[in-house]
Amino acid sequence: MAGQIDQRAPLNTFLKRLWAFSARLDVTAGILFLLVLLSIVGSSIPQLAPEISTDPERFTAWVAALRAKYDGWADFLVNSGAVQFFRTWVFLLPWGLLFLFTILCVAHRWRAIWHNVTGSPMRCTPAIADGATYSASISGARGPAWEALRRALEQDGYRVLTETNEAGWFLYADRHRLARLATLVTHLGVIVLLAGVLLSTQTSWREELIVPLDGSTVVRQVGLHVHGAGFEILRYPDGNVASYEALVRVQEAQARIRVNEPLVYQSIGFHLSGYVQTRDQTAVVLQVVYDPGYALIIIAGFLVLIGMMVTFNMPFSCIRACLTEDGVLHLGGWADRRAYGFAHAFESFVQQAVAVLNTQPDTV
């Protein structure tokens, strides 16, 4: 209604500014720099492991060791939460902002990237071709010159599309068109990496377990009963230890585990790390690890690696051409800055068209 003030205008303006702000590279770089500084600060302070914080006896011993090293500063570090620095808002806030801005950056860019990948603009005017990064005009062009250009592009790995109508002849050729999606794959990898690292730092834990043969031990974090059912040491002919393996049972699951071959039960890994042997008893030493973010970190690493490899080794390039009624062939070329040999290739395509024109005159 006329005369009314739109109350949504300030909110829409704020959202638009936030949308543009999140897509700025310098903002992301600033948050990354801040996270690096915070990581250095957090790494310089002894961090309290989750499995120790839940065990009163181990926590008391840990604080006593901290006091022996830092004297009066120990109580300040514990009371201020600095010993759990990576779980405080000081670290989690910029981490969350980086995660959010990375998602917004992908949302900001994917439509344009997808349009560039799926769109193949056939029509080309002389003004468009002449305004390209690389351009050339060939007067008196004929049909054979057009065909020579098309064949040369196809032989060099370009996808070539042509169209002929009353307005003239048009050509569009591109190479590594789908490689432009690699930047989205890289961004997706960064998002998965941030989520995986955050999940690991906030929820993972590890515990050392000593399990006697024919005896049981309880995993304090989750209350699982681990029973030692057997242990075997494999030796070389000279008597030196070659390897060792243990037969353990976790609840109803039983398996033989070796070094680097853990038992995984309900996403909890039981890794064989050693054994203790006395006259009366043998016990196996297990590292019990729960890290739900580990798989995400591995997947993210592959995504980032694939995205970066494609981005740097498969640069996009395209050539557009039009042959007008006056017999002038206009060519324009565009390429990513990593396509270092494109200038030479573009010149070669032009020379091949000129060579055919000079040797095989024809009419359109």
In this predicted model, which residue has the larger pLDDT, 247 or 10? 247
How far does CA 240 lie from the centroid of its chain? 44
The pLDDT mean for the chain works out to 85
Residue 63 pLDDT exceeds 60:
yes
pLDDT of residue 327: 81
On whether the CB atoms of residues 318 and 173 are closer than 8 A, the answer is: yes
Which of 315 and 72 is assigned the larger pLDDT?
Answer: 315
- The Cα 231–Cα 245 span in angstroms is 6
Q: Does residue 363 carry a pLDDT above 60?
A: no
Distance from C-alpha of 125 to C-alpha of 112, rounded to nearest angstrom = 23
The 3-state DSSP class for residue 156 equals: coil
Evaluate whether 301 touches 194 at the Cβ level (below 8 Å).
no
Cα(67)–Cα(73) distance, integer angstroms: 8
Question: Is residue 13's pLDDT more than 80?
Answer: no
Nearest-5° Cα angle at 130, 346 to 167: 105
Residue 18 lies in a domain: yes
Which is more confidently placed, 161 or 363?
161
Question: Which tens digits make up the pLDDT trace of 104-159?
Answer: 888 888 888 888 888 777 788 888 888 999 999 888 776 787 888 888 899 999 99
Averaged pLDDT, 291-300:
93
Residues 310 and 181 in one domain: yes
Flag whether 91 is in a domain.
yes
Is residue 134 one of the residues assigned to a domain? yes
In a domain, 257, yes or no: yes
Closest CA to 245 of 237, 234, 253, 236: 234
Query: How many H-runs (helices) and E-runs (strands) does the chain carry?
Result: 11, 13
C-alpha to C-alpha distance for 68 and 123, rounded to whole angstroms? 77
Q: Does some domain include residue 364? A: no
Share of the chain above pLDDT 70, in %: 94
- The amino acid that residue 107 corresponds to is A
* Greatest mean pLDDT range, 54-58, 102-106, 163-167: 102-106
Beta bridge partners of 234: 243
CA–CA dist 319, 345 (Å, integer) = 11
**β-bridge mates for residue 269, sequence order:** 264, 289
Measure the CA–CA gap between 327 and 349, rounded to whole angstroms: 18
| pLDDT tens column, 182-222 | 999 999 999 999 999 889 888 888 888 888 888 888 888 88
Q: Looking at the structure, tell me whether residues 153 and 301 fall in a common domain.
A: no
The dihedral region occupied by 260, where left means phi > 0, alpha psi between -120 and 50, and beta the remainder, is: left
Mean pLDDT value of segment 59-71: 86
- In the prediction, which pLDDT does 207 show? 87
Asked if residue 330 and residue 352 are part of one domain, the reply reads: yes
pLDDT at residue 364, as a whole number = 41
**Looking at the 3D structure of the chain, how many domains does it have?**
4
Domain that holds residue 34: 8-112
Mark whether 17 and 95 lie in a shared domain. yes
At 297-333, the pLDDT tens digits run 999 999 999 999 999 999 999 999 988 888 888 999 9
Please identify which residue in the block is written with the tokens 């900001």: 108
In this structure, what CATH number is given to the domain that contains residue 219? 2.60.98.40
Closest by alpha carbon to 226, among 240, 212, 241?
A: 212
**Shared domain check, 217 and 262:** yes
What are the tokens at 17? 């500014």
Same domain? For 197 and 302 the reply is yes
pLDDT at 244: 82
Sign of the C-alpha dihedral, residues 122, 124, 130, 132?
negative
User: What's the mean pLDDT in 337-346?
Assistant: 90
Domain final residue pick, 92, 112, 132: 112
- pLDDT grade, residue 8 (50/70/90)? low
Question: Would you state the pLDDT for residue 318?
Answer: 92
Question: Does residue 199 share a domain with residue 164?
Answer: no
pLDDT at 11: 67
Q: What is the pLDDT of residue 119?
A: 78
* pLDDT(362) > 50: no
Residue 149 tokens read as 């250009």
14/135 same-domain check: no
Structure tokens at 265: 């039960």
Position of tokens 């994917």?
A: 110
Same domain membership, residue 242 and residue 167: no
Domain boundary residue among 273, 289, 305?
Answer: 289
223 pLDDT above the threshold of 50: yes
Nearest in space to 250 (alpha carbons), one of 233, 229, 235: 229
| Neighbour count for residue 295 (Cβ, 10 Å) | 13
